[in-house]
A and B are shown apart, each in its own frame.
Chain A
């Protein structure tokens, strides 16, 4: 599967490969060096970016971000090394690397951000980069669809999240996370709390694929295997978990938080573990176990006790280690045998002993068997669950138990079954993977073992500081392998027993689930397609309604809307009563003449039957207006108006010359309708102008520009100084629009002529 492309002769991906390996490795070492400092307390650094909006490029490095940074760069190094060998000969490998690095930068920025807006920017970078990565095999329709689905689901969630961030920022009075996190009590009591919470959770649940937004994640397996390993172990999907953990001191600890997170998390975990049993493709099995892990993490973050958060942070590390190793292992098996079907693979341990070793280490950790760190993770989850009160304890413990049983069984399916027993025929002859691909899974698997044997190191440097950051206050974190005989250990033993039974019967269970799935009417993935179809139909309907291509109708709608909205506001606000005065006093005879010219031009435009006359008459009206500008000493505006009028007449007559004469008489109703809109437009504008003039003219701006123009901008022409200096950014926007509009019109006209030409020839 990974081999179906024309190969380019490149060792380890060439320069792109080495750069991609160096980037995360160097960062990993750098942050590793900072570890002792961060274990003692968080650090904040920053520079101003948009100070007027409170948006700064500032970094918050505490236990939580440190844990994530090390996972992102550490697993990133393993994944880039792996991909250099796995995809290094792919013709588009440099493109792949740039997406991967862009994603990595997005993730690092996300977890290090101390500013909500900055966090959001990086959040969206990961969304876009993951779209590009999932759709890397762009010639496959399936992979394009999966990429778009991931983009739309997580992108929609991201926009909702932005809403939540803005509300939160306004309530807290700052966008700095380090300041927001200290205001937890105020935020939880605030009337907007629930709104903020729901908006945030919409973002994190879509990103971290909680039910019912889970369907994009298994589809995202269309990505190349190293991408799956990276996105679904340490990064992308954990971004939602990260944000929930990050916001815990500010938003956590309420009933709403507890129930929403534990319910959604629990349902996701159990739903995913059932779905994992259903799959035959090992990569899909792993995809669903990722969902399960995300559900479990959400559930324990929701539970919110010190123990629960410690369990969540520990499991976060545990899961990243074994999941990345397993995904990478699947890639090697796929590479070597040409298949990922669980039913086909078997007896690979002889041909691929090192791959088998890595798989075994990771899977034993996943199954939660001592002395792996996975065992400690599971023990702490049980302890945390049992430590809760009331129904919560029951719910969380049961859900964690169910998920752990399935993880045990899945560990057997993905890592035991393919390697044990007799060697079965596979599409290609199995052989051991090359070292760059083996290094990552082996090191990660070894770490699962080492951390299990010396859990104190992990507790002191990572899990402890991370728990402090999430829980909000400092309490001792002590990790240990053997906690004596207690309830958690008994549950663990029960887990092994139940897990073993499920593993033994997993093929029967899969057949049952497949039969059930065939009858199941609820299919989220198909529902998604229907939703998109619905959107498309709606968009087509409203385009037909609003944009039917008739310029007359566009104008009628635009001006009609103006009349109704402005006129309506005018009536409702009772602006008529506020002392309107109409006086003709002080109007010079020349001005009367100009007014007559304008009126005559307008009337001629309406009455004439010749388009040319109409255009010229409109020009007369415009030039009349320009004359008025001159009389009231606004030469710049007048010159511009004059030039624009001339240009309009020229341009329109160029077009008009090709059009036939107007019909002698348009329909009476048509004319009446348009007359009403035009008359309404005139009346509303007139009354608007009169009301504007009736209020006192606010001269503050004029005075400012008059005073500041020369001393500050060295110019005496205020209009020009405003255009090119005080409000240069606006002008810049305008010229950009001019250029784009011209080029767009050019393209449109080009299109018309190329469409017409073939007809002329025939």
Chain B
């Protein structure tokens, strides 16, 4: 079932949802959001796209196989945990770097953020693996 209205709006909505998912991911440390929620929102964007068009088009738009993305996410999360080892801290101790510090304003970078990105990728990839498989195989 192809609906012109759905296909057209989806192009816009999916893009918005993806941007919003990144936004939710990045703000997560201080405000509602985070990798898990971000990953879910991001996945919804592609699910919408799948429903509006087809699995094949959604796969083509994603470019990378979602199951690879999920495993990559787990790997990124593990690497973020290992980072602590270089500072001599136990596994998964957050490491922080405050860039351009000027009074109260700075850009905080951390292994915690890397970890959250890993979570985002794992959730995003995991859900999409499942949805694509269901749409395609059943």
Contacts and interface: CB of A to CB of B under 8 A. Distances in A.
B95 to A, nearest CB: 11
A4 to B, nearest CB: 41
Contacts of B96: 714
B15 interface: no
Interface string A646-680: 11001100110010000000000000000000000
Given A720-B28, A724-B119, A643 B81 contact: no
A749 B133 contact: yes
Interface residues of B, number: 50
Given A742-B70, A742-B129, A723 B36 contact: yes
Interface in B77-126: 77-78, 81, 91-92, 94, 96, 108, 110, 112, 115-116, 118-119, 122-123, 125-126
Interface string A724-762: 110011011001101101110110011011000000000
A725 B113 CA distance: 10
Contacts of B36: 640, 723
Given A655-B134, A717-B34, A746-B130, A729 B92 contact: yes
A721 B29 contact: yes
A746 B31 CA distance: 34
A739 B71 contact: yes
A647 B40 CA distance: 9
Contacts of B78: 732
Main secondary structure of the interface of A (DSSP, over half): helix
B44 interface: yes
B135 interface: yes
Contacts of A717: 28-34
A719 B43 CA distance: 21
Nearest to B31: A717
B37 A749 contact: no
B14 interface: no
B18 interface: no
A434 interface: no
A724 B137 contact: no
Given A729-B91, A739-B125, A714 B37 contact: no
A635 interface: yes
Given A650-B47, A654-B135, A716 B31 contact: yes
Contact of A716 (B29, B35, B94, B130): B29
A647 B29 contact: no
Contacts of B30: 715-717
Main secondary structure of the interface of B (DSSP, over half): helix
Contacts of B70: 738-739, 742-743
B40 A640 contact: yes
A728 B37 contact: no
B17 to A, nearest CB: 11
A636 B125 CA distance: 21
Interface in B52-94: 66-67, 70-71, 73-74, 77-78, 81, 91-92, 94
A222 B138 CA distance: 48
A644 interface: yes
Contact of A713 (B33, B41, B74, B112): B112
Contacts of B35: 723-724
Contacts of B29: 714-717, 720-721, 724
A639 interface: yes
Contact of A654 (B37, B66, B108, B138): B138
Contact of A735 (B51, B74, B94): B74
A732 B92 contact: yes
B13 interface: no
B105 to A, nearest CB: 14
A658 B137 contact: no
Nearest to A729: B92
Contacts of B73: 735, 739
A724 B116 contact: yes
Contacts of A729: 81, 91-92
A303 to B, nearest CB: 48
A742 B44 contact: no
B22 interface: no
Contacts of B134: 651, 654-655, 749
Contacts of B119: 723-724, 731, 735
Contacts of A752: 137-138
Contacts of B126: 735, 738-739, 741-742
B44 to A, nearest CB: 7
Given A654-B135, A736-B74, A647 B115 contact: no
Interface string A69-108: 0000000000000000000000000000000000000000
B118 A735 contact: yes
Contacts of A728: 81, 92, 94, 112, 115
Contacts of A713: 94, 112
A742 B127 contact: yes
Contacts of A739: 67, 70-71, 73-74, 122, 125-126
A183 B124 CA distance: 56
B133 A658 contact: no
Interface in A691-724: 713-717, 719-721, 723-724
B28 to A, nearest CB: 5
What 7 A-B pairs have minimum CB-CB distances, sorted nearest first?
A742-B126, A735-B122, A739-B70, A715-B29, A643-B40, A635-B32, A742-B129
Given A658-B138, A735-B74, 15 more contacts: A636-B37, A650-B131, A651-B130, A651-B131, A713-B94, A717-B33, A724-B35, A724-B116, A725-B112, A728-B112, A732-B78, A732-B81, A736-B74, A739-B70, A746-B130
14 contacts: A639-B37, A640-B36, A654-B135, A715-B29, A715-B30, A717-B31, A717-B32, A724-B35, A725-B92, A728-B115, A732-B77, A742-B66, A749-B136, A749-B138
Interface of A: 635-636, 639-640, 643-644, 646-647, 650-651, 654-655, 658, 713-717, 719-721, 723-725, 728-729, 731-732, 735-736, 738-739, 741-743, 745-746, 749-750, 752-753
